[in-house]
Amino acid sequence: MERTAVTSPSTGARSMRSIGRFLSNTGPLLVLLFMLAVLWTLSEAFRSPTSLMLLGLEAAAIGIVAAGQTYVILTGGIDLSVEAMVSFAGVIAAILIAGTNVAGGQIANGIPSYLAILIALSAGALIGAFQGVLITGLNMNPLIVTLGMRSILLGVSLVITNGAGINIQKDEFLSFMTQVIRIGEDGAIRVPMVLIIAVIIYFISWVVLRHTRFGRYTYAIGGNETSARLSGISVNLVKIRIYAISGLLAAVGGVLVMARLVSGAYQNGTNMTLMSVAAVVIGGTALTGGKGGIWGTLVGVFIIRVVEQGMVYLSVPSNAKEIVLGVIIVLAVALDVLRRGDIPWLRMRRRAV
């Protein structure tokens, strides 16, 4: 009765597979290092500590937003509301800190920034959870729910600011959050605080996704929601928490952007949805869910940032930026499809040979 072959692939096949896995895990990282090397060689300006510091600074906020997006995409969903959440959280925090609305009209005395930030973050998590409830409880399409929420949040931000930014004064807490730490003699290496916050969030996310029950459930739901449900997992509860996390992290990103610009405005989050999704996909997480990881997203964020900054250093006209970004995003999705080998006509051609 030993007809069932033991499934131990030949060593050749196995090493092929492990090479494949190695490439899909480190591929984005290699691309990033290559791009950095090219830029380093071609542009003298890029070699300055300031430009490296700027790279980290620019990557931090979008990185945190993209971390939240990673959770959602791992379950096979998508959160298009993040850019609006960035603006919304910034506006809410700014209003509370400054005690003003509509471009300077005093309505109350401001409250301490940490309290204002706490309220803005709670709002982000709650709104995210609410989206999760709509998506799971009413079985609505996440694309539509989050697209609708995007409009609502942008609209609210626009209405309560009347289109202008709300400027704030930095207090101690905000100064601490936005400082740049100097390391080494004469402070040659400069590390922005926001980057440290981002890295901490990434580390926590890695632990959550890879070492907790919740993380395992996240992957299981993305891999096969039916099996997950039939294995006794409360799929809806997990998903609601996932959207809450995305809302929360987008709000964190929003508060940091606001603090850096010392202004809460409805444009603060512009483009961040597209960039966060692109970073997740470039980083190797499948849009269909169940596969990928948080570190890939961080690499994806840096790839996008290096491209953006590289264009500046290589004197590409800034108006062309959007075009390049668009190309990168489409390429990233094409890569995602290729990784899955899911192109029928290509497969057929291969078989027909």
Partner 1 sequence: MNADNPVVLEMRGIIKRFPGVVALDNVGFDVRRGEVHALLGENGAGKSTLMKILAGVYEADAGEIIFKGRRVSYHTPKQAQVAGITTIHQELNQIPLLTVTENIYLGSEIMRGPLVHWREMHKGARALLERLHLDIDPRVLVGSLGVGQQQMVEVAKALHHRSDIIIMDEPTAALSLREIDDLFTIIRDLRAAGVAIIYISHHLNEAFEIADRLTILRDGRHIATRAAADLTMDELIRLMVGRRLDEQFPKETAPRGKELLRVEGLTQGDRLRNISFSVHAGEVLGIAGLVGAGRTELLRAIFGADPIDAGAVYVDGGRVPIRSPRDAIRHGIVLLPEDRKQQGLVMGMAVRENVTLAVLRALTRGPLIDRRRERALVGQYIQRIQIKVADPENLVSSLSGGNQQKIVLSKWMATEPRVLLFDEPTRGIDVGAKVEIYRLINQFVAGGGAVIMVSSELPEVIGMSDRIMVIHEGTVTGFVGRAEATQETLLEYATGHRRDEGHP
**Closest to partner 1 by CB, 233 or 265:** 233
**How many whole angstroms separate alpha carbon 132 and alpha carbon 236?**
8
CB-CB contact of 128 with 248 (8 Å): yes
Tokens of 20: 């494949």
Binding residue for partner 1, selected from 1, 138, 183, 188, defined by CB under 8 A: 1
CB-CB contact of 211 with 107 (8 Å): no
Closest separation in Å from C-beta 196 to partner 1: 23
Burial pattern 93-127, b for ≥16 Cβ within 10 A else e, equals: bbbbbbebbeeeeeeeebeebeebbebbbebbbeb
Residues with Cβ within 8 Å of 10's Cβ and at least 6 positions away in sequence, in order, are none
Tokens of 41: 């060689």
Closest separation in Å from C-beta 286 to partner 1: 9
Closest separation in Å from C-beta 223 to partner 1: 4
Pairing between β-strand 180-183 and β-strand 166-167 as defined by DSSP bridges: unpaired
Size of the site for partner 1 (CB under 8 A): 33
**Closest to partner 1 by CB, 47 or 211:** 211
Q: Is 71 in the site for partner 1 (CB under 8 A)?
A: no
Q: Is 233 in the site for partner 1 (CB under 8 A)?
A: yes
Q: Is 291 in the site for partner 1 (CB under 8 A)?
A: yes
Q: Which of 174, 242, 194 is closest to 64 using CA atoms?
A: 194
CB-CB contact of 59 with 272 (8 Å): no
Binding residue for partner 1, selected from 62, 96, 145, 220, defined by CB under 8 A: 220
Q: Is the Cα dihedral 257, 27, 346, 74 positive or negative? A: negative
Q: Is 141 in the site for partner 1 (CB under 8 A)?
A: no
**Closest to partner 1 by CB, 8 or 50:** 8
The DSSP bridge partners found for residue 100 are: 106
Number of neighbours of residue 347 by Cβ within 10 angstroms:
11
Q: Is 207 in the site for partner 1 (CB under 8 A)?
A: yes
Binding residue for partner 1, selected from 18, 41, 141, 212, defined by CB under 8 A: 212
**How many whole angstroms separate alpha carbon 71 and alpha carbon 242?**
6
Helix axes 113-137, 142-161, angle to 10 degrees: 150
Q: Is 9 in the site for partner 1 (CB under 8 A)?
A: yes
Binding residue for partner 1, selected from 234, 326, 334, 346, defined by CB under 8 A: 234
Q: Is 228 in the site for partner 1 (CB under 8 A)?
A: yes
Binding residue for partner 1, selected from 19, 37, 108, 230, defined by CB under 8 A: 230
Binding residue for partner 1, selected from 106, 169, 227, 318, defined by CB under 8 A: 227
**How many whole angstroms separate alpha carbon 53 and alpha carbon 121?**
26
Q: Is 8 in the site for partner 1 (CB under 8 A)?
A: yes
**Closest to partner 1 by CB, 47 or 213:** 213
Q: Which of 49, 74, 56, 81 is closest to 197 using CA atoms?
A: 56
Q: Is 353 in the site for partner 1 (CB under 8 A)?
A: no
Q: Is 211 in the site for partner 1 (CB under 8 A)?
A: yes
Closest separation in Å from C-beta 215 to partner 1: 8
Q: Is 183 in the site for partner 1 (CB under 8 A)?
A: no
**Closest to partner 1 by CB, 5 or 188:** 5
Helix axes 294-313, 321-340, angle to 10 degrees: 150
Tokens of 259: 């603090």
Binding residue for partner 1, selected from 182, 229, 321, 339, defined by CB under 8 A: 229
Binding residue for partner 1, selected from 77, 192, 290, 296, defined by CB under 8 A: 290
**Closest to partner 1 by CB, 9 or 104:** 9
The site for partner 1 (CB under 8 A) is made up of 1-9, 207, 211-213, 216-217, 219-220, 223-224, 226-234, 290-291, 348, 351-352
